[in-house]
Structure 1
Amino acid sequence: MTNFAARFTVSRRNIMIAASLLAFTSLTHAQQILRVSAIPDEAPTELQRKFKPLGTMLEKKLGMKVEFIPVTDYAASVEGLVNKKLDMVWFGGFTFIQAKMRSKEQVIPLVQREEDERFKSVFITTDKNITKLEDLKGKTFAFGSESSTSGHLMPRSYLLAAKINPDTDMKRIAFSGAHDATVAAVSGGKVDAGALNISVWEKLLAQGKVDTKLVHVFYTTPGYFDYNWSVRADMPAELRKKITDAFLNLDPANPQDKEILDLQRATRFIPTKADNYKAIEAAAHNAGLLK
């Protein structure tokens, strides 16, 4: 074989190897999956229903498969992202702080709903004699999940500010695990009162799932920063930008986008940053929920 023929054979082999590697890389990219989850602050079926059109939109915008992976509890959503079993999670403010601390600042919040700049919790009861926070002394009470911002942390903070320690001043406290479960516990007479996020309360009202002759709101908290979509810091910047843009470009004038926004109970999505949640972190420290 001449030197030219040998060089041609080697070059041809290199081209074929390069082509195979390119094909493998393309195939791997095509099979890439964005693993998404959310804190289980509502029933699993409701979380799946809310995510379905959002997942479809993200698949189109990102050019990759998007899979929703439900988790058993709030802690699992934090551990899933920190341990790289999840790529993006819908966190509450408190779970975001927990993830940020667990990951040593390696979790980035991308976007939040405009409503999350001034989120609120509501306190509900069936007892007409309960009209203010101070009336909860000696009563039974339900929070949501222990790691919930709007179902535990902030309600506890406002109770403490009113000089009511839930652990010593109430007859009994319980953790329902989810906002809709708190409403069920109060309306079913299992507890005298409870606290949940205002968004779920308003949704249940709109769906006619609350008997307002039986259950009523007796206290609404001031506003605070809450939910966001967060990713790990090791996610490629290009993918982070595509995800961010997909949320920011949702247009309520577009019927498909409006369905997504309505299900997310959002007017629109806006950029967010870790500094927005410093007050949540301080509240968690003050309430003794962060060491």
Structure 2
Amino acid sequence: MKLRSIALVASLLVTGFCQAEEVLRVSAIPDESPTELQRKFSPLGKYLEAELGIKVQFVPVTDYAAVVEALAGKRIDLAWLGGFTFVQANKRGKVTPLVQREEDAHFTSKFITANSSINSLNDLRGKAFAFAFGSASSTSGHLMPRYFIESKGIDPDKDFKGLPAYSGTHDATVAWVASGKVDAGALNASVWDKLVEQKKVDPSKVRVFYTTPPFFDYNWTIRADLDASVAARLKAAFLKLDAKNPAHKEVLDLQRASRFIPTSAENYKAIEASAKKVDLIK
């Protein structure tokens, strides 16, 4: 009887493990429109399924905080996070940054305007211009733009017309500036470049008037208790992506990555310090 009981327990444990790992649940901060996020993820999801041999499911969320909560609550296994969202997730529970795009080691934000009287950050001081950030939890759409504005002695909560607005996404910030809803805004440099390439914004009408110094930004993060073998295969799959391989090129192009490289929590210490400096975290 004891042998049968041991065998039954072992069988249940194996079954439970297989069920737990038969679907890799993936999400991303909603820094762009839902349709764009799904378009970007689809080829990557298929690639990861083939490499890992398990189903990969994209789990959309409504806002940045929802991704942090989903990781903390173990409702997702892997998430595309900004630097600030990673810092927030790391404070909520054990997470491990897995890989980043090579470009994320020297990321920047763009300040844009369609107003001819705005040509520098100094032009924003005390002129009562309406200004838009992206999401309040965005690294490149809020935290770092706010940090660099304040380092110039400009207080976004006093020097702009009313309080700064929050568009929610980078592409929405561009739309707000282009329509005249706000006089200026800040967004992710990669999204700006993409919108220009796709001719979704006219740079002769909406122009960049300031680019921030570089900082670390996005990464793919896993919950720290994800099965070690799955985590290792997942990391290897990202590092294997090669732009010279036609089958990989679409994945990398949609991720706006030349390649993926390993990353660590240490890379985001400066982001955490910046967030503390501007009172976004304690």
Matched residue of 1:163: which SS? coil
Distance in 1 (CA, whole Å) between partners of 2:106 and 2:17 is: 44
SS at match of 1:110: strand
Is residue 90 of structure 1 aligned with residue 83 of structure 2?
Answer: no
Residues 242 and 162 of structure 1: CA distance in aligned 2, closer, same or farther (over 3 Å): same
Kindly indicate whether residue 158 of structure 2 is the aligned counterpart of residue 168 of structure 1: yes
Determine which of 100, 116, 120 is the counterpart of 2:108.
120
Partner secondary structure for residue 132 of structure 2: strand
Aligned residue among 143, 147, 150 for 1:157:
147
Q: 3-state DSSP class of the match of 2:56?
A: strand
Q: Paired residue for 2:192? A: 201
**Mapping 1:35-184, distance limit 5 Å:** 35-103=25-93, 106-137=94-125, 138-172=128-162, 173-184=164-175
1:211–1:270 distance in 2 versus 1, CA, 3 Å: same
Counterpart Cα distance in 1 of 2:199 and 2:245? 27
Q: CA offsets per residue over residues 91-111 of structure 1, 9 Å max, x none? A: 0000000000111xx111000
Query: How many Å separate the matches in 1 of 2:194 and 2:226?
Result: 33
Question: Cα gap change, 1:288/1:270 in structure 2, threshold over 3 Å: closer, same or farther?
Answer: same
Q: Is 1:285 the counterpart of 2:273 in the alignment?
A: no
Distance (whole Å) between structure 1 residues aligned to residue 267 and residue 203 of structure 2: 34
How far the C-alpha of 1:64 sits from its partner, in A, is: 0.7
1:207 Cα deviation (Å)? 0.3
**Deviation per CA, 1:195-245, whole angstroms, max 9, x where unpaired?**
000000000000000012210000000100000000111112211110100
- Structure 1 Cα separation of the partners of residues 230 and 158 of structure 2: 48
Deviations 1:157-215 (A, max 9, x none): 01001110000111131000000000000001000000000000000000000012210
Q: Return 43-52 or 135-144, whichever deviates more.
A: 135-144
In the superposition, relative to structure 1, how do residues 31 and 227 fare at CA in structure 2: closer, same or farther (>3 Å)?
closer
Structure 2 counterpart of 1:245: 236
Shift of 1:52: 0.4
Q: How far apart, in 2, do the equivalents of 1:118 and 1:175 lie? A: 24
For residues 203-218 of structure 1, the aligned pairs below 5 Å read 203-218=194-209
Which is worse superposed, 37-46 or 23-32?
23-32
Answer whether contact 1:30 1:64 (CA < 8 A) is retained: no
CA contact (8 A) 1:151 1:196 kept: yes
Q: Matched residue pairs, number?
A: 278
Using the TM superposition, give the Cα deviation of residue 63 of structure 1 relative to its aligned residue in structure 2, in angstroms: 1.1
Q: For the structure 1 residues 202 and 186, does the alpha-carbon distance in structure 2 shift closer, same or farther, using more than 3 Å as the test?
A: same
Once residues 240 and 284 of structure 1 are traced to their aligned partners in structure 2, the CA distance between those partners, rounded to angstroms, is 29
1:120-171 Cα shifts (integer Å, max 9, x gaps) = 0000000121111011132100000000000000000010011100001111
Match of 2:253 among 257, 262, 267: 262
SS in 2 for 1:109: strand
Q: Secondary structure at the match of 1:59?
A: helix
**Structure 1 portions without partners, runs of 5+:** 1-9
Please list, as runs of the form range in 1=range in 2, the aligned pairs for 1:10-49 lying within 5 A after superposition.
14=4, 21=11, 25=15, 28-29=18-19, 32-49=22-39
| Cα distance in 2 for residues equivalent to 1:26 and 1:96 | 29
Query: What value does the CA root-mean-square deviation take over the aligned residues?
Result: 2.1
Evaluate the alpha carbon distance shift between residue 247 and residue 147 of structure 1 in structure 2; reply closer, same or farther with a 3 A threshold.
Answer: same
Report what 1:5 is aligned to. Answer: none
What TM-score, normalized to structure 2? 0.94
**TM-score, normalising length: structure 1:** 0.91
What is the distance in 2 between the residues matched to 1:57 and 1:200? Answer: 23
- Which runs of 5 or more structure 2 residues have no equivalent in the other structure? none
- Cα shift at 1:253: 1.2
1:26: Cα distance to partner?
8.7
Q: Give 1:187's aligned amino acid.
A: A
Identity %: 59
Q: Which of these two proteins has the greater Rg computed from alpha carbons? A: 1
